[in-house]
């Protein structure tokens, strides 16, 4: 980062940012990409470019773009979500068809379909390509935006490349700052005209940065050196899930379903469990009432997992 060659990205003259955007566009098989400060901003830009105010966006009810962005979609894009069932991490093609047909019955027109891969609140579950294809087909001529905050976890867990997944969507975003370890930043990719419009929306949202190459340098390390090692996070999350399932057999954690880096379980006393874990040096949080989330990442090694397993074993019920 200290050695990064920089320029003014407001003028799109930062060579390191430009390189990062090109590397990501290639990884996800899109014509162009844009570096933005956060995943939320990437999703919001996609909404602002691909939708019109007063239209419907079909998305899973628990997806980040619906439930975890503080109502930003209404505030920034004036859209209305049709939040459909995503309890297994995917949405049904039939729900997309139903939403589109609703326009014939005085309901708002659908402008966009959003999917999340991997799906965080379902426990980091990756999509299958065939399920994605069904949704894409049901969307017809509507664009599909993929919130791929953890797309590379999906790639490593399934062997399906990020580009193959992204091929089923018009636009895709990924976070560099999660399992990929960069301190900050996300990328949004799609067709050239989409990215040209996205540059304007990024500016409107205050996300245009100047000498951002210092950040993009870390982003290049994220994309080029941090993807393959996600397999270690996935292996460790599975180990942790086994300890969680043993400690709370009724907590709903099924280790075989933990294929990426997220372990979720229900708790009747989440405050006490979180306090205990913290006292044992394990930081975790709830993502919904009574639903605790544990994550593995670069800085949790095998010794760290052993420590977390001991903390789980000794936690209150």
Ligand X SMILES: Cc1ncc(COP(=O)(O)O)c(C=O)c1O
Q: Does 186 bind ligand X (CB under 6 A)?
A: yes
Q: Which residue is nearest to ligand X (CB)?
A: 39
The reply on whether position 116 binds ligand X by CB under 6 A is: yes
- Considering the complex, state which of residue 188 and residue 312 has its C-beta at the smaller distance from ligand X: 188
CB of 64 to ligand X, least distance (A): 3
- Give least dist CB 126 to ligand X, A: 12
Identify whether 118 is preceded by a cis peptide bond (ω within 30 of 0).
yes
For the chain, helix, strand, coil in percent to 5 are 45, 15, 40
Q: Rounded to an integer, what distance in angstroms lies between the CA atom of residue 270 and that of residue 251? A: 11
Name the residue nearer to ligand X (CB basis): 175 or 237. 175
Does 174 bind ligand X (CB under 6 A)? Our answer is no
Nearer to ligand X (CB atom), residue 97 or residue 291: 291
Nearer to ligand X, 116 or 233 (CB): 116
Nearer to ligand X, 148 or 270 (CB): 148
Q: How far is the CB of 174 from ligand X (least distance, A)?
A: 9
Indicate the residue among 118 and 170 with the shorter CB distance to ligand X: 118
Query: What single string gives the DSSP state of each residue in 211-278?
Result: STHHHHHHHHHHHHHSSTTHHHHHHHHHHHHHHHHHH-TTS---GGG--SSEEEEE-S-HHHHHHHHH
Looking at beta carbons only, is 151 or 241 nearer to ligand X?
A: 151
When asked if residue 123 is in the footprint of ligand X (CB under 6 A), the reply is no
Question: In the sheet where 80-84 sits, what is the strand order?
Answer: 32-36, 186-190, 171-175, 144-147, 110-116, 56-60, 80-84
Range 5-44, binding ligand X (CB under 6 A): 38-40, 43
82 contacts ligand X (rule: CB under 6 A): no
Give the number of residues in contact with ligand X, rule: CB under 6 A. Answer: 12
- Site membership for ligand X, residue 162 (CB under 6 A): no
Q: Where are the beta strands (DSSP E) in the chain?
A: 32-36, 56-60, 80-84, 110-116, 144-147, 171-175, 186-190, 262-266, 285-288, 291-295
As measured in angstroms, the least distance from the Cβ of 185 to ligand X is 8
175 binds ligand X (CB under 6 A): yes
Q: Check: CB of residue 205 under 8 Å from CB of residue 76.
A: yes
For residue 91 the two structure tokens come to: 């949405």
Distance of CA 291 to the CA centre of its chain: 19
Measuring CA to CA, which residue among 226, 236, 249, 221 is closest to residue 179?
A: 226
- Residues 6+ positions from 75 with CB-CB distance below 8 Å: none
Question: What's the min distance (Å) between Cβ of 65 and ligand X?
Answer: 7
Among residues 64, 145, 234, 309, which is the contact residue for ligand X, using CB under 6 A?
Answer: 64
CA distances from 96 to 35, 65, 89, 162 (A): 30, 17, 15, 23
- Is 149 among the residues that bind ligand X (CB under 6 A)? yes
| Residue 62 is a binding residue for ligand X (CB under 6 A) | no
Q: SS3 of 107, please?
A: coil
Write down the least CB distance from residue 193 to ligand X, Å: 24
| Contacting positions for ligand X (CB under 6 A) | 38-40, 43, 64, 116, 120, 147, 149, 175, 177, 186
């Amino acid at each position: 980062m200290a050695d990064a060659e920089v320029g003014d990205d407001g003028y799109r003259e930062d060579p390191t940012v430009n390189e990062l955007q090109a590397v990501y566009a290639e990884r996800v098989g899109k014509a162009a990409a844009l570096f933005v400060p956060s995943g939320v901003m990437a999703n919001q830009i996609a909404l602002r470019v691909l939708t019109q105010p007063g239209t419907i966006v079909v998305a899973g009810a628990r997806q980040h773009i619906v439930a975890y962005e503080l109502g930003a979609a209404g505030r920034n894009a004036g859209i209305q979500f049709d939040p459909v069932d995503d309890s297994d991490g995917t949405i049904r093609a039939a729900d997309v068809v139903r939403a589109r047909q609703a326009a014939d019955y005085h309901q708002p027109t659908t402008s966009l379909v959003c999917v999340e891969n991997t799906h965080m609140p379902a426990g980091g579950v990756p999509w299958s390509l065939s399920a994605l294809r069904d949704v894409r087909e049901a969307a017809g001529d509507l664009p599909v935006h993929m919130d791929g905050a953890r797309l590379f976890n999906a790639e490593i867990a399934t062997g399906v490349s990020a580009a193959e997944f992204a091929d089923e969507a018009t636009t895709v975003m990924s976070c560099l700052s999660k399992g990929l370890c960069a301190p900050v930043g996300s990328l949004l990719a799609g067709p050239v005209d989409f990215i040209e419009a996205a540059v304007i929306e990024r500016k409107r949202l205050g996300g245009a940065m100047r000498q951002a190459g210092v950040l993009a340098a870390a982003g290049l390390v994220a994309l080029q050196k941090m993807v393959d090692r996600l397999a270690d996070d996935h292996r460790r999350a599975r180990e942790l899930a086994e300890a969680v399932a043993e400690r709370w057999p009724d907590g709903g954690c099924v280790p075989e379903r933990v294929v990426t880096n997220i372990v979720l379980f229900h708790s009747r006393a989440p405050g006490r469990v979180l306090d205990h874990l913290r006292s044992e040096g394990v930081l975790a949080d709830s993502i919904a009432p009574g639903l605790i989330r544990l994550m593995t990442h670069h800085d949790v090694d095998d010794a760290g997992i052993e420590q977390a397993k001991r903390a789980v074993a000794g936690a209150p019920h």
